[in-house]
């Protein structure tokens, strides 16, 4: 049976093992040691319907470090659903590559690609989730705080794909999360219910609210993302107006715990979802977080493709 990683829930049974393997692989190869190449000879096909810096480069370099290689397939080459059906793309790619990484506009296409592909499919983001980002986020928090369970995470802004995956990831590791969003921009209700069900078993809570100051109160981790996700460009003006009270700035950060860390999946927009003081300030760990995309994804690739 192949293993797809489309949701954080696809890592529910071994999320912490993936994170600790990522932390271990980050330290390899040790000085004087030959690099291990568990994916020697394997090829990852990377299908992008949207732009990317981190996802593309971290997967490509990650595969090279694991002994394999990656092939980039951009929006102009495939144009899924227009030039060719998602099923045909899945079938064809499965004959060439050992694994597909897909950045899609819709979760529906993501699921269709995974259904028709005979090789594993890893999500590089869709409109519902960003699971690899969440793994990198948790790895970063673990490194900076020394633990995950019992911490308090405040997400402030748009209840988007990144927020959806964070709710699931936080619940899985026993971290409490408060998400403050305008009421019409709440995270996905089904994923919220799932996260709350897991949180109950793990002894933590996942709560939604409208007040960013209430969410940030005592938080160990402050997290925000763009107010205008890829594909929402036509709503830019409306969103930038509506989300203004949700900016993560020094005033909001004063509510957080003294040693809080600031995370953002990037790309960031200084002066909009986050002030320059916060993202460029001493609490920000956004570049460690970006680096950790690669380490987390290497562990995910090994979990999917095997040693
Ligand atoms: N955080 C993230 O996924 O970045 P890219 O869009 O640059 O890949
Ligand atoms: N929510 C953002 C994340 C970018 C990495 C988007 O979907 O565009």
Give tens-digit pLDDT for 290-302: 999 999 999 999 9
Same-domain pairing of 66 and 99? yes
Q: Are 109 and 86 in contact (CB under 8 A)?
A: yes
Total domains in the chain come to 2
pLDDT above 70 covers a percentage of the chain that reads 100
d(CA 24, CA 43): 23
pTM above 0.85, yes or no: yes
Beta bridge partners of 177: 153, 206
- Say which CATH number the domain at 233 has: 3.40.50.1370
Same-domain pairing of 65 and 85? yes
Report the pLDDT value the prediction gives residue 255, as an integer from 0 to 100.
98
* Helix (H/G/I), strand (E/B), else coil: 221: strand
Indicate if ligand 2 lies below 6 Å from the C-beta of 265.
yes
Same-domain pairing of 104 and 86? yes
In this prediction, residue 78 has a pLDDT band, given cuts at 50, 70 and 90, of: confident
Residue 293 bears catalytic tag: yes
Q: Could you tell me the end-to-end alpha-carbon distance of the chain, in angstroms, rounded to an integer?
A: 16
Report the pLDDT value the prediction gives residue 116, as an integer from 0 to 100.
98
Same-domain pairing of 141 and 118? no
Q: What is the mean pLDDT of residues 264-271?
A: 98
Give me the domain span that covers residue 40.
8-129+293-305
Residue 51 Cα: closest atom of ligand 1:
6
Same-domain pairing of 246 and 168? yes
Q: What is the DSSP string of 47-111?
A: EESS--SHHHHHHHHHHHHTT-EEEEE-HHHH-BTTTB-HHHHHHHHHTT-SEEEEE-S-HHHHH
**For ligand 1, mutation pick of 51, 55, 57, 279 (most atoms within 8 Å of CB):** 55
Q: Which residue's CA lies nearest to atom 1 of ligand 1? A: 265
280 inside domain? yes
d(CA 103, CA 98): 17
Give tens-digit pLDDT for 177-200: 999 999 999 999 999 999 999 999
Among all ligands shown, which has an atom nearest to the Cα of 263?
1
Catalytic residue among 111, 130, 264, 283: 130
Mean pLDDT for all residues in the chain = 97
d(CA 266, CA 285): 11
Give tens-digit pLDDT for 131-176: 999 999 999 999 999 999 999 999 999 999 999 999 999 999 999 9
Catalytic residue among 126, 293, 295, 297: 293
Catalytic residue among 116, 132, 133, 283: 133
Q: What is the mean pLDDT of residues 189-213?
A: 98
Same-domain pairing of 143 and 89? no
Distance 124 CA to ligand 1 centre (A): 8
**For ligand 1, mutation pick of 61, 124, 267 (most atoms within 8 Å of CB):** 267
Same-domain pairing of 151 and 108? no
Give tens-digit pLDDT for 84-126: 999 999 999 999 999 999 999 999 999 999 999 999 999 999 9
Report the pLDDT value the prediction gives residue 307, as an integer from 0 to 100.
56
Backbone angle region of 67, left / alpha / beta, with phi > 0 → left and psi within -120 to 50 → alpha: left
Residue 132 bears catalytic tag: no
Give tens-digit pLDDT for 122-131: 999 999 999 9
Report the pLDDT value the prediction gives residue 52, as an integer from 0 to 100.
97
Report the pLDDT value the prediction gives residue 76, as an integer from 0 to 100.
86
d(CA 63, CA 34): 16
The tokens describing 150, both together, are 């019992």
Distance 34 CA to ligand 2 centre (A): 37
In this prediction, residue 211 has a pLDDT band, given cuts at 50, 70 and 90, of: very high
180 inside domain? yes
53 inside domain? yes
Give tens-digit pLDDT for 16-75: 999 999 999 999 888 888 888 999 999 999 999 999 999 999 999 999 999 999 999 998
Rg (CA), the chain: 19
Q: Which residues contact 24 (CB under 8 A, 6 or more apart)?
A: none
Q: Please tell me what DSSP assigns to residue 43.
A: E
Same-domain pairing of 209 and 231? yes
Q: Are 42 and 196 in contact (CB under 8 A)?
A: no
Residue 307 bears catalytic tag: no
CB-defined site of ligand 1, < 6 Å: 52-55, 125, 133, 265-266
The CB density around residue 197, as the number of other CB atoms within 10 Å, is 11
pLDDT above 90 covers a percentage of the chain that reads 93
Q: Please tell me what DSSP assigns to residue 2.
A: -
The tokens describing 16, both together, are 């912490």
Report the pLDDT value the prediction gives residue 35, as an integer from 0 to 100.
84
Between the alpha carbon of residue 75 and those of residues 2, 78, 262, the distances in Å are: 26, 6, 32
Distance 206 CA to ligand 2 centre (A): 21
The tokens describing 185, both together, are 């921009």
Q: What is the mean pLDDT of residues 197-214?
A: 98
Same-domain pairing of 209 and 145? yes
Catalytic residue among 42, 54, 56, 103: 103
Report the pLDDT value the prediction gives residue 156, as an integer from 0 to 100.
99
d(CA 145, CA 288): 13
Same-domain pairing of 125 and 137? no
Same-domain pairing of 121 and 137? no
Q: Are 218 and 149 in contact (CB under 8 A)?
A: no
Q: Which residue has the higher pLDDT, 224 or 306?
A: 224
**For ligand 2, mutation pick of 57, 136, 187, 225 (most atoms within 8 Å of CB):** 225
Catalytic residue among 111, 265, 289, 297: 265
Same-domain pairing of 122 and 140? no
Q: Are 174 and 205 in contact (CB under 8 A)?
A: no
The CB density around residue 148, as the number of other CB atoms within 10 Å, is 22
């Amino acid at each position: 049976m192949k293993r797809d990683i489309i949701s954080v829930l696809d890592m529910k049974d071994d999320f912490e093992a993936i994170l600790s393997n990522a932390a271990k692989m980050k330290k390899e190869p040790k000085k004087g040691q030959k690099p291990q190449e568990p994916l020697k000879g394997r090829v990852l096909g990377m299908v992008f319907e949207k732009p990317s810096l981190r996802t593309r480069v971290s997967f490509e370099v990650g595969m090279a470090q694991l002994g394999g290689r990656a092939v980039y397939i951009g929006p102009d080459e495939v144009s899924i659903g227009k030039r060719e059906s998602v099923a045909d793309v899945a079938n064809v790619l499965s004959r060439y590559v050992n694994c597909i990484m897909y950045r899609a506009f819709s979760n529906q296409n993501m699921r269709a690609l995974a259904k028709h592909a005979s090789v594993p499919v890893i999500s590089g983001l869709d409109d519902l989730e960003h699971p690899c980002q969440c793994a990198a986020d948790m790895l970063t928090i673990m490194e900076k705080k020394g633990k995950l369970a019992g911490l308090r995470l405040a997400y402030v802004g748009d209840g988007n794909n990144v927020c959806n995956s964070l709710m699931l990831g936080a619940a899985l590791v026993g971290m409490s999360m408060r998400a403050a969003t305008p009421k019409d921009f709440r995270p996905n209700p089904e994923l919220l219910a799932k996260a709350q069900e897991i949180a109950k078993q793990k002894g933590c809570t996942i709560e939604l609210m409208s007040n960013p100051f209430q969410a940030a109160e005592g938080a160990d981790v402050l997290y925000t993302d763009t107010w205008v996700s890829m594909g929402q460009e036509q709503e830019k003006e409306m969103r930038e107006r509506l989300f203004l009270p949700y900016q993560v700035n020094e005033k909001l950060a004063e509510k957080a715990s003294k040693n809080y860390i600031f995370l953002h999946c990037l790309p960031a927009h200084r002066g909009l979802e986050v002030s320059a003081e916060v993202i460029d300030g001493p609490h920000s760990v956004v570049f460690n977080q970006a680096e950790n995309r690669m380490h987390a994804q290497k562990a995910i690739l090994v979990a999917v493709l095997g040693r």
